[in-house]
Amino acid sequence: MPLFTRRLAALVSAALLAAGLLAGPFTAPAANAVVGGDAAAPPPWLAAVGTPAFLIRPSGQFCGGTLVSADKVVTAAHCVDFLRSVPNLMSVTFGRADLTKKDGESVQVKSVWVQPNFKETEFKGETVEHHDVAVLTLNRPVLDRQPLPVIDRAGLYPPGAPAQVLGWGTTSELDLLNARLRQATIPLVSDARCAAAYGSSFDHRDMVCAGSPKADTCQFDSGGPLVVNGRLAGITSWAYGCAREGYPGVYTRLAPFTLPL
């Protein structure tokens, strides 16, 4: 999924430095769009996470997020860890299907919580994200939008079950231009099959796999939702490429985590 992790890190950091918004280099997010999906209207809880300084993407979007309460948005830790000290540089936008437009509602971020055990390792040159979950607190509640419920701690992830993914990301590994929201229904993948693909880089305690060569998430989809049975069950996190045979997408498994909501 994050094929261009280090390139994107350099681009975001350079953009913020050029704008005079950062004093030094940071590790920016590994962004991941939906391959094989269809154009979609944004559900009320879906957020585009970004910064105005990231000029190479419409609306400054670099990741996705999910509204889970009036002032809390769940996203991937790797999307926002580098901006923890300057959360006011970020905003989330709701109700915008096309990032080149100015519709919808944007709200500034007040603070960022990152799961304390978040860390990164490597698999075949890809960044592997562990405990990849963060919560953004908005500077005002969004009262006119219905949040998406989060899976409970006993939530199940049955292999083959349908899951919904959404994002504004790329439609293939080589597409960097898509800015329209897309969605797809993808199957959950067994832990055994995921471990066979990724070896020790896959940890079933905080990761779950989903997708196929027909449909997957990709660049700039990171942080977006994996929805199972009407609940936020996972977060788009990492993978080896996009929709590659034998390498399903890897998502943060949310059931084990207690989030500060």
d(CA 164, CA 110): 29
Nearest to 238 by CA among 155, 84, 121, 108: 121
Indicate which residue of 59, 69, 91, 222 is catalytic. Answer: 222
Indicate which residue of 132, 191, 206, 216 is catalytic. Answer: 132
d(CA 61, CA 168): 8
Is 222 designated active site?
yes
Centre a 10 Å sphere on the Cβ of residue 59 and count the other Cβ atoms it contains.
Answer: 23
CA of residue 148 relative to chain centroid, distance: 15
Report the C-alpha dihedral over residues 181, 187, 192, 198, rounded to 10 degrees. Answer: -20
d(CA 76, CA 192): 24
d(CA 64, CA 29): 11
Is 216 designated active site?
no
CA-CA-CA-CA torsion sign (227, 222, 3, 30): negative
Indicate which residue of 59, 69, 71, 78 is catalytic. Answer: 78
Q: Catalytic amino acids?
A: 78, 132, 222
